[in-house]
Structure 1
């Protein structure tokens, strides 16, 4: 009997050990998510412009194609173009896939508008949403009453569509708006602008949850963290983002303008021309990939270059040159996302290029294209040139007609070729002729009869 007890004890110990080892070796399965489908995460962590719109369009298309169950926008932006924000908002509203805006930093200005169009808003601690007053390219408040009224209404409509208080959105958009909501701690006087912290947004209903990570947001929406796709920009999109940086854009315009013009006025090098054309191609490529430029900008650029080249060799009183310059400038401006920014870049690049062109022209003046239009050698007496004031000494001298004089032609006099005219008669070549008078630049001759 004691032996049987010992067997039972050993068996119990072995079972216990097996159960314990199984707990460590077999992973615990997470609780199944209530919603099925992958999660597509799109970063919105740059200034809002047309390049971001193209990026977002690709993201929403890919999410729909992969039958994603949820799209999460990770937002941290200072704002940007209102028209681009409107295009992104339309993407969100028309998306068949639910969209959650997760504010990880700032959702300022146009960024707040994008967030308000999402189905849900989550915010991280330390983030903010609001401060959506419209400003110009220099950061100064816009004072156009109609434009402000439109933007305020647009913000309010976005807030109402997701069940949020429209008055708060108006206070975010209009610095002159008065908002009195003491029951939720919001009081705004003219001259102030509303921006909400994560806690304030949660209290006022402008945030649905405060989350510490994207995974926490995904779990909150009852989706699994096992099937999450984080969208990344392609190499072309990264290159376009670099090329459309204002500083890089200015450098490309400088190299393009200076390189092409230097190649034209100092031909034969090749390097300036190649560098100039390559810089223009990179400028237009960056803006094209970013979604700023279309095929028409390439056409304007090519027409401009052709017109300027033709003007150099077929003078048209400046008409072709003016058309070419206008075409080039129009192509450059239309290719950029901001007229004010490209105007500044173009101005700086043009001024810098002008200085570079002048320096190169002075250094290589002996090789310049102007040599075709400027007399580079002085005419001397040895070459047959006789100043006007000295031509009276020819009167009475005799030479030979080298060409028929009908009545003008050429004679040879003491080894020099002179352009002469008769008094109206014709003299055959080879006949002796005598200078009878000079009249300014004219040398008048008659046939010498021996």
Structure 2
């Protein structure tokens, strides 16, 4: 549409072939120039295997080709014959195949203004004397985007994303793994989004997947539907962000690219988990980590106990049996009632007792003979 309605004359140079969308773009230009041996046509809409799509797609393409040709003063019947092999034009399209022109045929039938072997020859033939040829070059931004969407780099970013999520879920509140995961996710999704590969809903699916996994770990006991669904959403979001699709329409998707993207995501995920297990084991047993976290065991023989300090202070105190201890019962010490166990034998109600020790959350007493 931009080319078709451009206020500046647009010239196209067909260096080799202008098929499919290339044919439509060429017809939208004001002037077409072709090199010897070049071709234009064959604009049937096909899938990734080369099989023609249903007629509703062909009808739309025929309409675009026809209207574009009319707008540029070219024969619309020839334009739609480049899409539909059923179009019959005597001595032009009468073989039952979609129409494709060579350079000389395109010139003869008004689909090429002239033959040129290079851009300078085109400009000279078109009557331009003073001109400057400016070639499109990759900018720094283009190079960065190209670097980030490289499959190997994408795989590394996926490993950082998954690894960061794993470490953050293992040790909530640390912060660094989460920050690393977020930065990696931005570097992964942003270039794919700019290139038109990642859609909004694909990024949303990934985010929902992360939330579901977190909910499964921190809120729902066990590991079930939410966790499995979350993992699936994460994989789907990462995979579909690497391939071209239009919304929820997957008709034009390149399934070879989809399989390749899925393989990259699965491989990166497994490698990330394996490395995460290995690294976490090394970190938690390292000397540096040992200086930051308590690694020793608090043994009773070293004076450590989990007992309530109140009960420890009762050792050596005297009281009497509130009930019969056989061997468990209740005792009264300092006007308070406690559960206690006779160290040996039975102790009758009312007999004097003495606390001898406190173990396993239980007071042990014996008869006080004094």
Give the TM bin, normalised by the shorter chain.
Answer: 0.5 to 0.7
Between the aligned partners of 1:141 and 1:280, the Cα distance in structure 2 is 36
Q: How many residues align?
A: 312
1:188 paired with 2:89, answer no
Q: 1:449 to 1:111 in 2, by over 3 A?
A: same
Shift of 1:323: 5.7
> Aligned to 2:128, what secondary structure does the other structure show?
coil
Superposed CA RMSD: 4.9
Shift of 1:92: 0.9
Match of 1:125 in 2: 36
Q: 1:425 to 1:378 in 2, by over 3 A?
A: same
Match of 1:164 in 2: 74
Shift of 1:162: 1.9
Q: Give the conservation status (yes or no) of the 8 Å contact 1:124–1:212.
A: yes
Shift of 1:124: 1.1
Which of 138, 141, 149 is equivalent to 1:233?
138
> Aligned to 2:7, what secondary structure does the other structure show?
coil
Q: Give the conservation status (yes or no) of the 8 Å contact 2:61–2:83.
A: yes
Between the aligned partners of 1:350 and 1:310, the Cα distance in structure 2 is 20
Match of 1:208 in 2: 113
Q: Give the conservation status (yes or no) of the 8 Å contact 1:422–1:445.
A: no
Which of 123, 134, 151 is equivalent to 2:45?
134
Match of 2:18 in 1: 107
Choose between structure 1 and 2: higher helix proportion. Answer: 1
Between the aligned partners of 1:436 and 1:168, the Cα distance in structure 2 is 111
Between the aligned partners of 2:117 and 2:331, the Cα distance in structure 1 is 108
> Aligned to 2:2, what secondary structure does the other structure show?
helix
CA shift digits 1:367-392 (9 cap, x unpaired): 589xxxxxx99999989xxxxxxxxx
Shift of 1:222: 2.5
Match of 2:263 in 1: 348
How do 1:291-310 residues align onto structure 2 when only pairs under 5 Å count? 300=204, 303=207, 307=211, 310=214
Match of 1:78 in 2: none
Q: Give the conservation status (yes or no) of the 8 Å contact 1:236–1:289.
A: no
Which of 302, 314, 321 is equivalent to 2:218?
314
Shift of 1:431: 8.3
Match of 1:433 in 2: 341
Shift of 1:134: 1.4
CA shift digits 1:395-442 (9 cap, x unpaired): xxxxx99756xxxx9x99xxxxxxxx96688875998632799xxxx9
Q: Give the conservation status (yes or no) of the 8 Å contact 1:261–1:357.
A: yes
Shift of 1:196: 1.7
Give the TM-score of the pair, scaled to structure 2.
Answer: 0.63
Which of 143, 154, 168 is equivalent to 1:253?
154
How do 1:23-42 residues align onto structure 2 when only pairs under 5 Å count? none
Q: Give the conservation status (yes or no) of the 8 Å contact 2:11–2:31.
A: yes
Q: 1:169 to 1:364 in 2, by over 3 A?
A: same
Match of 2:4 in 1: 93
CA shift digits 1:139-172 (9 cap, x unpaired): 3324322122111222222222222232332232
Between the aligned partners of 1:212 and 1:426, the Cα distance in structure 2 is 112
Shift of 1:123: 0.9
Between the aligned partners of 2:107 and 2:49, the Cα distance in structure 1 is 29
Give the TM-score of the pair, scaled to structure 1.
Answer: 0.54
Between the aligned partners of 2:144 and 2:123, the Cα distance in structure 1 is 31
Q: Give the conservation status (yes or no) of the 8 Å contact 2:45–2:83.
A: yes
Q: Give the conservation status (yes or no) of the 8 Å contact 1:300–1:331.
A: no
* Greater RCO, CA 8 A, separation 6+: 1
Match of 1:11 in 2: none
Q: Give the conservation status (yes or no) of the 8 Å contact 2:329–2:339.
A: no
